[in-house]
Amino acid sequence: MSAVLKQELIILEAKLKQELAEFKAELDKLREQMLSGMQTVHKDLSLISLVPKWSGAENATPLEFLASVDRAALIGRWQDADCFNIVVLRLADPAKAFYITHVQSSTLKTRHGRSSRTCARKI
Point out which residues pair with 91 in neighbouring strands.
Answer: 54
* 57, 104: one domain: yes
* 2, 22: one domain: yes
* 84, 49: one domain: yes
CA distances from 62 to 66, 67, 107, 109 (A): 6, 8, 18, 23
> What is the per-residue pLDDT for 112?
47
* 73, 29: one domain: no
Choose between 14 and 60: higher pLDDT.
Answer: 14
- Distance CA(112)–CA(107), nearest Å, equals 9
Local confidence band at 114 (pLDDT 50, 70, 90 cut-offs): very low
Tens-digit pLDDT profile for residues 30-85 = 888 777 766 666 888 889 999 999 998 867 788 989 999 999 999 999 989 999 99
How far is Cα of residue 74 from the mean position of the Cα atoms in its chain?
12
* 24, 55: one domain: no
What SS3 state is found at 54?
Answer: strand
